[in-house]
Structure 1
Amino acid sequence: MENRKKVAFYTLGCKLNFSETSTIARNFQDEGFDRVDFEEVADMYVINTCSVTENADKQFKQVVKKAMKLNNKAFVAAVGCYAQLKPEELAAVDGVDLVLGATEKFKITDYINDLSKNDMGEVHSCEISEADFYVGSYSIGDRTRAFLKVQDGCDYKCTYCTIPLARGISRSDELENVLKNASEISKQNIKEIVLTGVNIGDYGKGEFGNKKHEHTFLELVQELDKVEGIERLRISSIEPNLLKNETIEFVSKSRTFVPHFHIPLQSGSNEILKLMKRRYQREVYTERVNKIREVMPHACIGVDVIVGFPGETDEHFLETYHFLNEMDISYLHVFTYSERDNTEAADMSGVVAANVRSKRSKMLRGLSVKKRRAFYESQLGSNRTVLFESENKEGYIHGFTENYVKVKTPWNPELVNTLHPINLTHIDEDGSVRMEFIEVEV
Structure 2
Amino acid sequence: MKVYIKTYGCQMNERDSENLAAQLKLRGHEIARTEAEADVFVANTCSVREAAEQKAIGKLLRISHKKKNGFPIIGVMGCMSQNRGSEIVKSVPKIDFIAGSRKTPYVADYIEEIAKRRKAGIIPQDPQKGERKKWKHNDAIINIEDDETSHNLIKLHDFSKSQICANISIMQGCAMKCSYCIVPKTRGIERSRPMEDIVNEAEILANSGAKEIQLLGQVVNAYGRGEMPNVQGKSPFVRLLEKINKINGIERIRFVSPHPSFFKEDLIAAYSSLEKICEYAHLPLQSGSDRVLREMRRPYSAEKFIKIAKALKASKEIFSLSTDIIVGYPNETEEDFLKTCEVFKECGFDMAYIFKYSPRMGTVSAELEDNVSEDEKERRNQILLEMLKKQSLDFNERLVNTSQEVLVESKAKRGLGNLMGRTRTHRKVIFKAPEELIGKLVSVKIISAGVSAMDGVLE
Q: Give me the TM-score of the superposition, normalised by structure 2.
A: 0.87
Deviates more, 1:134-143 or 1:78-87: 134-143
User: What corresponds to 1:298 in structure 2?
Assistant: 318
Pairs within 5 Å for 1:172-321: 172-205=192-225, 216-321=236-341
1:363-396: CA deviation from partner (whole Å, max 9, x where unpaired) = 2222222211111011222221111222441323
Structure 2 gap ranges (5+): 119-124, 126-131
Tell me the amino acid that sits aligned with residue 230 of structure 1.
I
User: Whole-Å Cα distance in 2 between the matches of residues 302 and 202 of structure 1?
Assistant: 19
Counterparts in 2 of 1:169 and 1:40: CA distance versus 1, 3 Å? same
Given candidates 26, 32, 36, the residue that maps to 1:36 is: 32
**Residue aligning to 2:432:** 410
Q: Contact conserved, 2:306 with 2:343, CA < 8 A, in 1?
A: no
The CA distance in 1 between the partners of 2:202 and 2:46, in whole Å, is: 26
**For 2:365 and 2:316, how far apart are their aligned partners in 1?**
37
Gaps of 5+ in 1: none
Partner of 1:425: 447
Alignment check: 8 A CA contact 2:102 2:151 kept? no
Q: How many residues align?
A: 429
Q: Which of 105, 111, 124 is residue 142 of structure 2 equivalent to?
A: 124
The Cα shift of 1:290 comes to: 0.9
Aligned residue type for 1:45: F
Kindly state the Cα deviation for residue 419 of structure 1 after the two structures are TM-superposed. 1.6
In 2: Cα distance, 1:335 partner to 1:149 partner: 26
In structure 2, what is the equivalent of residue 134 of structure 1?
Answer: 151
Partner of 1:151: 171
Listed one character per residue, the Cα deviations across residues 43-83 of structure 1 (whole Å, up to 9, x for unaligned) are 11111111112221122134325645774521111100111
In structure 2, relative to structure 1, the CA distance for the partners of 1:431 and 1:103 (3 Å cut) is: closer
CA distance in 2, matches of 1:169, 1:212: 19
Match of 1:53 among 49, 64, 79: 49
Q: Which residue of 1 aligns with 2:121?
A: none
Match of 2:84 in 1: 86
CA contact (8 A) 1:83 1:99 kept: yes
2:174 maps to 1:164 = no
Q: Deviations over 1:223-244 (max 9, x none)?
A: 1111222121112231111012
Q: Distance in 1 between matches of 2:186 and 2:114?
A: 29
Equivalent residue in structure 1 for 2:455, among 434, 438, 442? 434
Q: Is contact 1:103-1:125 (8 Å) kept?
A: no
Do the aligned residues in 2 keep the contact of 1:158 with 1:276 (CA within 8 Å)? Answer: yes
- Contact 2:76/2:97 (<8 A) preserved: yes
Q: Are 1:11 and 1:47, in contact at CA under 8 Å, matched by a contact in 2?
A: yes
Residues 13 and 49 in structure 1, CA contact (< 8 A), matched pair in contact too: yes
Whichever residue aligns with residue 378 of structure 2, its letter is: S
Match of 2:129 in 1: none
- Deviation of 1:412 (Å): 3.9
- My pick for the range that moved more, 271-280 or 350-359, is 350-359
Q: Separation in 1 of the partners of 2:245 and 2:3?
A: 36
Q: Which moved more, 1:117-126 or 1:412-421?
A: 117-126
What CA distance in whole angstroms lies between the structure 1 residues aligned with 2:40 and 2:208? 27
1:339 corresponds to:
359
1:349-388 alignment runs, 5 A limit: 349=369, 351-388=371-408
Q: Tell me which amino acid in the other structure corresponds to 1:29.
A: K
Letter in 2 for 1:76: I
User: Is the CA contact (8 Å cut-off) linking 1:407 and 1:433 kept in structure 2?
Assistant: yes
1:352 deviates by 1.8
2:122 maps to what in 1? Answer: none
TM-score (norm 1): 0.90
Alpha carbons of structure 1 residues 249 and 381: separation in structure 2 relative to 1, 3 Å: farther
Cα-to-partner distance string for 1:232-278 (whole Å, 9 max, x where unaligned): 11122311110122222222232321111001111010000000001
| Distance (Å, rounded) in 2 between the aligned partners of 1:351 and 1:131 | 40
Determine the C-alpha separation between the residues in 1 that align with 2:82 and 2:73.
19
Q: Give the whole-Å Cα distance in 2 for the aligned partners of 1:364 and 1:295.
A: 26
Which stretch has the larger CA shift, 133-142 or 404-413? 133-142
Percent of pairs with identical residues: 27
Secondary structure of the residue aligned to 1:433 is strand
Helix, strand or coil: the match of 1:355? helix
Measured against aligned partners, the alpha-carbon deviations of 1:338-384 in whole angstroms (never above 9, x if no partner) come to: 21111110002352222222222222222222211111011222221
Aligned 8 A contact 1:151 1:171 in 2: yes
SS of equivalent to 1:386: strand
Structure 1 residues 418 and 211: CA distance shift in structure 2, 3 A = closer
Query: Quick check: 1:42–1:71 contact (8 Å CA) kept in 2?
Result: no
